[in-house]
Chains A and B, each alone.
Chain A
Amino acid sequence: MDHRVVITGMGVVCPLGHDVPTMWDGLMTGKSGVATTTLFDASTFPTQFDAEVKDYDISSFVKNPDLHQHSNRGSLFVLGACVQACKQAGIDIETDTPADNIDRTRLGIYLGAGEGSADNNAFFSSIISGWNAGKQTMDWSKWTQKALETMDTMRELEQEPNMPAGHLALLTGARGITRSCLTACAASTQAIGEAAMIVRHGKADVMIAGGAHSMIHPLGLTGFNRLTALSTRNDSPTTASRPFSATRDGFVLGEGGAVVILETLESAKKRNAPILAELIGFGSSNDAFRVTDMHEEARGAASAMRTALKDANVTTGDIDYISTHGTSTIENDSIETLAIKTVFGDRAKSVPVSSPKSQFGHLIGATGCTELITCIKAIEENTLPMTMNLNDPDPQLDLDYIPNEPRKTEVNIVMSESFGFGGQNNVLIIRRFETE
């Protein structure tokens, strides 16, 4: 028997704030999380701004912050998000003998989590020490000597992309199915979708699902700048993320952590957990086209959307809102618009769509979960987030992008989309919870 999958808790740490109410307030009031880069000196990089999580203090969330002295930023953020989500869902993380009526072997974890930053001092100093510029070769014995002096055991361990999930296991005592995936910018949407399948098919009662990532470090920014994927609007960071605008020139690199609690309806009822929404559809596909580009006809994106609709047993006419991937790159926003038109046909222009990335940037692996939380809030508040900075619409892009102001309207069923480098397409559908 398939189980209905409900969402019973959520938490977020993102550039607009360290909890869901603060993020939502920022989205509603037109705040931007984008500013000049402060985490390192990016003043000579092609892009000198980003969307950072500011003034975050892990000790306000966890009892033993000493465990996290070397944790990567993604781990720190997702720990805070998980504490919030568990509190809301009534998952007891305070004691060793939790009284929350959840069997720990049926409590699992599924994150879309990124790697941590390299330990830059150790990484670069070893290279410099070993490199023979004249011969253009590495003297490995010199590299090794420096590496042994500078590399720190824990800093190296904490770069592993499975560490955020490891930290959440220790935090929550989860002994159920635990997975971590990394499918570029689609990772946490994929994690939530696969976690929902685990719950639906009875392999776990409760899954802690979400994302964690920060690529705001020298090599991360370098990688994206070389791909020319980032906006270089250094004179106006807060207006740089402008999805669907004619003048969009790339995405704004953000960071964060986000968690939703997925649970069988039976378990949620048994525990009297609050039900925030029901997760009814998941679609996942791969472009199988090119390493560097999305499929020109949005083949994979459209397929994932159709699969999600079919899985949810709803039609395009039922969708009240689409939370787009909407990165503000030339390619994504065009192809995504084409995908929506392909799937929604005549109805495409009457479905409101928007991109909160215009305000909090692109949180990479953490972005999908953060955006799903904005969808849950949209249902709760009957209000749609806007696409900020949309002042010069791209004439080729003619959907209802909810420009510059949030919109009050009845919201019951919502689609959330994430697409990633490598042709990764993942789509979720949630709906307002109704007993029948």
Chain B
Amino acid sequence: MSTRRVVVTGTGAVSSLGLTGDEFWDGLLEGRCGVKKIQAFEPTGFPCELAGEVADYKIRNHVPKTHRKATKLMSRDIELSVIAAGDAVKNSGLVTKATDPENATITATRTAISFGAGLISCEIEEIAASVEKAVTDGEFDIRKWGMNGLQSLTPLWLLKYLPNMLPCHIGIIHDIQGPSNTITCGEVASHIAIAEAVEMITRDDADVAFAGGGEAKVNPVVMMRQCLHHRAVTGSNDSPEQACRPFDTNASGSVFGEAAGMLILEELEFAKSRNATIAAEIVGTASSNSLNTDYAHLEPDGKGLQIAIRKALNEANVRPDQIDLIVPAGTGIVADDKAEGAALKAVFDSALESISVWPIKSMVSHTGAAAGAIDLIAAVRAIEHQKIGPAANFTSPAAGCELNIATEAANKEINYALCCGYSFGGQTAAIVIKKYEENA
């Protein structure tokens, strides 16, 4: 098969820890928690009133002048993703149409984008003003909607909510004319999108690929779904920062939130030719399925996750005991943490004693389609700095979750790292990255 190697040369992240990858990384190292009471709407009555939300920003300041008008067509999912893409480009040192159109260092047709997106729910207050015109005796009246309600919605309403509009805007801003895909596999969407971006480069359809994911989950419909599925933590509304406790004996659910993460991937020779700083190499990817009629959870033995991890290790050509760091799904959902623990034990066995496991959702919340991208960015930066941060809120392991989880930031020799995840809906995924070495 191809010998084209794929390296990470830039990372950008927008999260509840800040608007940049640097703030994200610094926050993680400090064990800072971005979870707070929901600001986007008044969550009174929600079983879980908490979320990891991104602080205020002005989207106009994050796009080139030529794209300012198009910001009207951006849902929050699009905005966060566009900001993360800009941050990643800056971090990579690439020059694109957005930064300097005359001196771009990427060739548009040899640049790809593969991005994970969620099921974007429309803004409730926006549509409510139209629904108001379609009510008879307190009930929705579809005939009135067809006549009056519909007409009052902005004409391009649908385009704010199509998942492929995340990479579409990014593609226009940075001039990406190669393959563009949008993966919609829930909470492994960005793991899978990154895997496909790697393939686009190895099969020689691109030299550079933007890879990541973004989702703004802090919408009442989306947050209510997580409550109904009993995935969101309850009983912690008064202690937001301690609410999400992956693998901890006092865990009782996850906290959901918003983020976007982008990695710049390059073919090794392309990266070298422009003297790029190489942060890590991607050496193995895989996905599989849980075969479980309870789509909301992993199988109890995490079988589908085991398969994905084994296949990714196999593709990377590494033994389980060569892995130094795992950034797991670690959601804080009791049954799923236990199943993930079972999967990790099945694959890594006694090697787990020396592998650091670093769940980050206690700090940044569960960000859905963005989760894989920001997990992988944490792993990439851990390799760059040979350092990991604390797993906030972890004190003692839940039964079945006896993992080597750090409670304080520490220096750590990391040659190989693994990220893994599973979706609400059944898909599982794993990615193996490696500290870059010239002669690997």
Bound together, the chains give a CA A131 to CA B196 distance in angstroms of 43
Bound together, the chains give a CA A216 to CA B165 distance in angstroms of 21
* CB-CB contacts below 8 Å: B188-237 with A: 189, 192, 196, 199, 202-203, 205, 220-221, 224-225, 228-229
Given the known interface contacts A45-B146, A113-B184, A226-B150, the answer about A291 and B73 at a Cβ–Cβ threshold of 8 Å is yes
Interface residues of A, CB < 8 Å — how many? Answer: 92
* CB-CB contacts below 8 Å: A112-127 with B: 113, 115, 120-121, 123-125, 127
**Cβ–Cβ < 8 Å partners of B168 in chain A:** 286, 291, 421-424
**Cβ–Cβ < 8 Å partners of A43 in chain B:** 143, 146
Chain A min CB distance to B440 (Å): 20
Contact of A287 among B1, B177, B203 (CB under 8 A): B177
CB distance A105 to B124 under 8 Å? Answer: no
Chain B min CB distance to A200 (Å): 8
CB distance B176 to A166 under 8 Å? Answer: no
Binds A, one of B7-15, B288-296, B392-400: B288-296
- B250 adjacent to chain A (CB < 8 Å): no
Contact of A159 among B119, B228, B311 (CB under 8 A): B119
Given the known interface contacts A41-B142, A105-B307, A115-B119, the answer about A286 and B293 at a Cβ–Cβ threshold of 8 Å is no
Contact of A162 among B45, B113, B175, B186 (CB under 8 A): B186
B148-184: contact bitstring with A at CB < 8 Å (1 yes, 0 no)? 0010011111110111110111011001111111111
Select from chain B the residue with minimum beta-carbon distance to A116. Answer: B119
**Cβ–Cβ < 8 Å partners of B225 in chain A:** 151, 156-157
- A60 adjacent to chain B (CB < 8 Å): no
- A181 adjacent to chain B (CB < 8 Å): yes
Select from chain B the residue with minimum beta-carbon distance to A123. Answer: B221
Chain A min CB distance to B199 (Å): 6
Bound together, the chains give a CA A155 to CA B42 distance in angstroms of 24
CB distance B159 to A421 under 8 Å? Answer: yes
* CB-CB contacts below 8 Å: A272-288 with B: 284-288
Number of CB contacts from chain A to chain B under 8 A: 272
- B410 adjacent to chain A (CB < 8 Å): no
**Cβ–Cβ < 8 Å partners of A194 in chain B:** 181, 196, 199
Contact of A182 among B138, B164, B192, B423 (CB under 8 A): B164
Given the known interface contacts A44-B147, A226-B157, A286-B176, the answer about A173 and B291 at a Cβ–Cβ threshold of 8 Å is yes
Interface residues, chain A, with chain B CB atoms under 8 Å away: 1, 40-46, 67, 105, 109, 113, 115, 120-121, 123-125, 127-128, 130-131, 133, 136-138, 140-141, 143-145, 147-148, 151-153, 156-157, 159-163, 165-166, 169-170, 173-184, 190, 194, 197-198, 201-202, 218-219, 222-228, 284-292, 299-300, 303, 307, 420-424
Interface residues, chain B, with chain A CB atoms under 8 Å away: 1-2, 41-46, 70, 73, 108-109, 113, 117, 119, 122, 124-125, 127-129, 131-132, 135, 138-140, 142-147, 150, 153-159, 161-165, 167-169, 171-172, 175-186, 189, 192, 196, 199, 202-203, 205, 220-221, 224-225, 228-229, 286-293, 295-296, 304, 307, 311, 423-427
A-B contact pairs, 24 of them (CB 8 A): A41-B142, A45-B146, A123-B221, A127-B128, A136-B129, A138-B41, A140-B41, A140-B44, A144-B46, A151-B228, A162-B186, A175-B289, A177-B287, A178-B288, A178-B427, A179-B192, A194-B196, A226-B155, A284-B179, A285-B109, A288-B172, A307-B205, A421-B164, A424-B168
